[in-house]
Amino acid sequence: MKDNKYYRDEVPENNPTFEVDRRDFVKLLGGGLFIYFQLGSFLTGVAAEAAQQRSLPKDYNAFIHISEDGTVTCLVGKIEMGQGIITSFPQMVADELDAPLESIKMIMGDTELCPYDAGTWGSLSTRQLGPSLLAAVAEARGVLLSLGAENLGATPEECSIENGVIFIKNNKNKKVSFGQLTKGKKIEKYLDVKPKIKDFSEFKIRGKSFRHADGVIKVKGEAMYSGDFKMPGMLYAKILRPPSHGATLVKADTSEAEKMEGISIARDKELVAVLHRDIEKAEAALAKVKAEYKFDEMKVDDQTVFKHMLEFPSDAKVVKSSGDIATGKSASDQIFESEFHNSYVAHAAMETHTALGFMEGDKVVVRASTQTPFGTQDGIARELGLGLDKVRVIPPFLGGGFGGKTMFRQAIEAARLTKITGKPIMVLWTRKEAFFYDNFRPAAVIKITSGTDKSGKISLWDYHEYFAGARGSDTIYDVPNAKTTSYSAKDVHPFLTGAWRAPGNNTNTFARESQIEMMAAKIGTDPLDFRLKNLKDERMIGVLKAVAELFGWSPAKSPSGRGYGIACGFDAGSYVAHIAEVKVDQTTGKIQVVRVACAQDMGYCINPEGSIIQMEGCITMGMGYALTEEVKFTGGDIHTANFGTYQLPQFSWVPKIQTKILEKNEAPQGGGEPAIICMGGVLANAVFDACGARLYQLPMTPERVLGAIAKVK
Amino acid sequence: MAEIIQFELNGKKVEIPLEKGQTLLWVLRDNFNLTGTKYGCGEGYCGACTVIINGEAVRSCGIAMEDVAGKKITTIEGMSVNGKLHPVQQAFVDHDALQCGFCTPGMIMNAYGLLLKTPHPSREQIIEGMEDNLCRCGAHVRIIEAIESASKVLKV
């Protein structure tokens, strides 16, 4: 590890939610100049233009602005939901620009100020936006160097930059700061030859650990989330909800609710909302609304869903194919056929979907907990029939997302209600609403037929993925005859499903890594040796060897009774490998996770401690889908309504966690999701190693564990 | 005329007309603008709304306002004094014991309540005391370490 200690105690405090509106932004920028634009032209300039065009701007001014006092404002369309880019982006910008870290301020996701971004998902911020952001900053640095040299009567080659100050190398007293340089100037200058971004060897701030830049305001309770904003005349909206998906409103009688003091009703087609200054009064009034529905629901429930999915007409798509399945079968000494099931799980971020809508002239402004502010802006504009210039979305801090806040129904509701009433409207979902409208991780079936030859090599891999999503479905192993088929269909689910942290990959890695250890166990090989023998990818081999060392692996044939399991995989550009130790109570079926070790190769790591925190979070969160989390439903009726019937990981579950990030001078890759993908597989394999019982379905509830144990006794 | 109730909030005497059906959570958030206390589930499962009442950590979503009269209440906003973080807050910062931060105020208040009762808890006591506060990001291991650290410096 490069530097696993915190690099300094004082980190810049960043709060992307400070009150910025058009006027405030100008104030925030002070008398300083956006280097190439006059202040007035900025907002209608590059960023707004790029936002309209729905693509990343080429002009670096859209990403970075330098004020008179030297403050460097970095504008990105991403949002902060705990993943930590509010800490790592300033590290990247300061390092590339040679500016002090504490001079970097972030403005994030505001559709009026920030360059367009599709959304904060897929662990893409660093690996996909990062290079564009750095290219912009590198050009800004080059321009500043050239302007500074001119100011000092020197050539750019004779000058250098440190801490936001340009100076002549052999006469350091001759210097000018970024702020002094840009003051009062109206310059439009671009570099014909775009400077190269810095090489790993030149990094000073990247690669070092920094604490969360938003840590202090969060422990003080000062960080602002969507529900924390207040406005004069603001009303809470409580919206009439159907009892189930597939229910359509026939009639709503609001007369009893209307009798309550201070209540008003807003209706627009199917949208029926009661409004009150006080959220609890609005809720009480909503309970008095009488509604009739007609029902058209799918006949499926959490027990029959797997059969339903296999019988459902679907489109088959070959994701990848090499060699020939029939050849693979005849080359195999042993054939293994398995079917794995995975359940619907909820995102269950601690902050429910929330949005505050208000009018600013004829413009609808919405502060919303959304992972896709620009997508939300599109959605509102479409729904209300407005131009994009009449809709502004401002995402403050998000209280968790995990893919659940790629859906922004609550923001559209707030926008519609504020448009109807002209008043500021707060839509803050109850936990029950958050479960009901969640885009659950889809339930899925995986069927695998695999084979090994006499030498212990995998000779056959025929993989069929039904509705999990193809991410992570391709085998990571070196198999001559392999085929991956992905099945999908519209309307197979009775409710909304969608991306859940490392979509597809949790289910696929569970199935693949379970199958791998089944084969290793059958042919009597140590599961680590078996993997190493069947892998070609050096980086996958690298993380496996690293985690084996971290854990202290000693070879044994499974089930060894030790309760050790292994899993590895690839997600968001990064390689991960896990080893877990579990204890299985064979009378209650309860699994206690004792220890989880994880090694990750994510290319160059910008903020090691921040990445380790993500790995710990992935491991902890991942225990939930592996052990308890499962949405219960009958047709469109979601029985899971609160945490009493949906068990998240708790303090008593927390194992000893060991993490290692491999040191690599390679392009940075994703860090928010990879370490969660192995949790189903690694724990299933550890359970098998503990007691010889193989679990084919997640979550591994005590009941299912006891069932699997009964089969081998 | 509505009945007026008085109580102490973050060291200050306050009063408010009693309205039927109001819970402490929403009065704190909307009447006193103390929005550090969060709504997470509304039914006492998650602990995001935890505050200290008369020295005990309780879930404000389940506290009716009529039961608040005469009580001493501390919220997350009352923890730091003159801008200086409370030792529990400081320990959460030092250990980076948070991600999205939404459960954090409730975690800190619950931990403070635990330390008021058990100033030097064992790791097992910390786990038991924090068990029903939920964190979706998975900051648990650091939260435990932060509370262990805080217990060493906190003078109760």
- Whether A579 shows a pLDDT value over 60: the answer reads yes
| Min Cα separation A255/chain B (Å) | 21
pLDDT band with cut points at 50, 70 and 90 for residue A48: low
CB contact under 8 A, A280 and B98: no
Which member of B89, B127, B140 has the closest CB to residue A220?
B89
pLDDT at A588: 98
Angle at A661 between CA A658 and CA A663, to 5 degrees: 145
Any chain B CB within 8 A of the CB of A533? Answer: no
Locate the chain A residue with the closest alpha carbon to B89. Answer: A219
Which member of B30, B76, B139 has the closest CB to residue A220?
B76
Distance CA B112, CA A221 (A): 15
CB contact under 8 A, B100 and A397: yes
Give residue A575's Cα distance to chain centre: 17
Locate the chain B residue with the closest alpha carbon to A84. Answer: B99
| Residue A277: how many other CB atoms lie within 10 Å | 13
A contact test, residue of B9, B79, B99 with most A CBs within 10 A: B99
Q: Do the domains A305-344+440-712 and A22-219 match in fold?
A: yes
The set of residues, in sequence order, having a beta carbon less than 8 Å from that of B121 and lying 6+ positions away, is: B114, B115, B129, B147, B151
- Whether A671 shows a pLDDT value over 70: the answer reads yes
Q: Is A538 helix (H, G, I), strand (E, B) or coil?
A: helix
First-residue to last-residue Cα distance in chain B: 42
CB contact under 8 A, A613 and B43: no
Q: What's the mean pLDDT in A377-382?
A: 97
Residues of A in contact with B139 (CB under 8 A): 613, 616-617, 620
CB contact under 8 A, A230 and B139: no
Residues of A in contact with B90 (CB under 8 A): 219
- Whether A67 shows a pLDDT value over 90: the answer reads no
pLDDT at A192: 87
> Beta partners for A291?
A252
Any chain B CB within 8 A of the CB of A223? Answer: yes
| Min Cα separation B85/chain A (Å) | 8
Q: pLDDT per residue over A449-498, tens digit each?
A: 999 999 999 999 999 999 999 999 999 999 999 999 999 999 999 999 99
pLDDT at A4: 41
pLDDT at A15: 59
- Annotated domain spans of chain A: 22-219, 228-295+353-428, 305-344+440-712
pLDDT at A110: 96
List the domains of chain B with CATH numbers. Answer: 4-76 (3.10.20.30), 87-153 (1.10.150.120)
B contact test, residue of A350, A367, A619 with most B CBs within 10 A: A350
Q: What's the mean pLDDT in B50-69?
A: 98
Q: How many CB pairs under 8 A join A and B?
A: 177
Distance CA A513, CA A176 (A): 58
Locate the chain B residue with the closest alpha carbon to A218. Answer: B101
- Considering only CA atoms, which of A113, A70, A80, A74 is closest in space to residue A93? A74
Q: What's the mean pLDDT in A329-337?
A: 98
- Whether A291 shows a pLDDT value over 70: the answer reads yes
Q: Token pair of A423, please?
A: 């008043």
| Min Cα separation A267/chain B (Å) | 25
- Whether A5 shows a pLDDT value over 90: the answer reads no
- Whether A37 shows a pLDDT value over 60: the answer reads no
- Whether B22 shows a pLDDT value over 80: the answer reads yes
pLDDT at A186: 39
pLDDT at A693: 98
Which member of B77, B79, B138 has the closest CB to residue A621?
B138
Locate the chain A residue with the closest alpha carbon to B83. Answer: A220
pLDDT at A548: 98
pLDDT band with cut points at 50, 70 and 90 for residue A20: very low
CATH architecture, range A305-344+440-712: 2-Layer Sandwich (3.30)
Residues of B in contact with A397 (CB under 8 A): 100-101
- Whether A38 shows a pLDDT value over 60: the answer reads no
pLDDT at B88: 98
Q: pLDDT per residue over B45-54, tens digit each?
A: 999 999 999 9
- Whether A30 shows a pLDDT value over 50: the answer reads no
Dihedral-angle region of residue A212 (phi above 0 means left; psi in -120 to 50 means alpha; beta otherwise): beta
The set of residues, in sequence order, having a beta carbon less than 8 Å from that of A99 and lying 6+ positions away, is: A70, A72, A93, A163, A164, A178
Q: What's the mean pLDDT in A508-533?
A: 98
pLDDT band with cut points at 50, 70 and 90 for residue B2: confident
Residues of A in contact with B37 (CB under 8 A): 221
Any chain B CB within 8 A of the CB of A179? Answer: no
- Whether B134 shows a pLDDT value over 80: the answer reads yes
HEC sequence for B29-91: HHHCCCCCCCCCCCCCCCCCCEEEECCEEEEHHHCEHHHCCCCEEECHHHCCECCECCHHHHH
- Whether B1 shows a pLDDT value over 70: the answer reads no
pLDDT band with cut points at 50, 70 and 90 for residue A9: very low
CB contact under 8 A, A350 and B135: yes
Which member of B42, B76, B108 has the closest CB to residue A431?
B42
Least reliable range by pLDDT among A15-19, A616-620, A696-700, B36-40 = A15-19
- Whether A17 shows a pLDDT value over 50: the answer reads no
Residues of A in contact with B135 (CB under 8 A): 350
Residue ranges of A 603-642 with Cβ closer than 8 A to chain B: 609, 613-614, 616-621, 642
Residue ranges of A 651-670 with Cβ closer than 8 A to chain B: 651-654, 657
- Whether A7 shows a pLDDT value over 60: the answer reads no
CB contact under 8 A, A216 and B43: no
pTM for this one? Answer: 0.94
- Whether A23 shows a pLDDT value over 70: the answer reads no
Element (H, E) at B4: strand B4-9
Residue ranges of A 338-377 with Cβ closer than 8 A to chain B: 348-352
CA dist A282 → A236, A415, A417, A428, B3 (Å): 7, 18, 14, 12, 22
The set of residues, in sequence order, having a beta carbon less than 8 Å from that of A142 and lying 6+ positions away, is: A156, A191, A194, A195
Residues of B in contact with A222 (CB under 8 A): 36, 77
pLDDT at A40: 32
Residue ranges of A 14-53 with Cβ closer than 8 A to chain B: none
- Return the higher-pLDDT residue of A10 and B43: B43
Q: What's the mean pLDDT in A397-414?
A: 98
A228-295+353-428 is a CATH 3.30.365.10 domain:
yes
Q: What's the mean pLDDT in A395-416?
A: 98
**DSSP assignment letter at B3:** P
Q: What's the mean pLDDT in B104-128?
A: 98
| Min Cα separation A222/chain B (Å) | 6
Mean pLDDT of chain A: 92
pLDDT band with cut points at 50, 70 and 90 for residue A61: confident
| Min Cα separation A422/chain B (Å) | 21
pLDDT band with cut points at 50, 70 and 90 for residue A57: confident
pLDDT at A52: 56
Residues of A in contact with B40 (CB under 8 A): 350-352, 431
- Return the higher-pLDDT residue of B146 and A70: B146
Q: pLDDT per residue over A240-275, tens digit each?
A: 999 999 999 999 999 999 999 999 999 999 999 999
Which member of B45, B89, B140 has the closest CB to residue A642?
B45
pLDDT at A51: 56
pLDDT at B83: 87
Handedness of CA B2, B4, B5, B7 (dihedral sign): positive
CB contact under 8 A, B30 and A279: yes
pLDDT at A50: 53
| Min Cα separation B135/chain A (Å) | 7
Q: What's the mean pLDDT in A555-580?
A: 98
| Min Cα separation B70/chain A (Å) | 23
- Whether A531 shows a pLDDT value over 90: the answer reads yes
- Whether A21 shows a pLDDT value over 70: the answer reads no
A22-219: which CATH number, 2.40.50.140, 3.30.365.10, 3.40.50.720, 2.40.110.20?
A: 3.30.365.10
> Beta partners for A447?
A339, A464
- Whether A611 shows a pLDDT value over 70: the answer reads yes
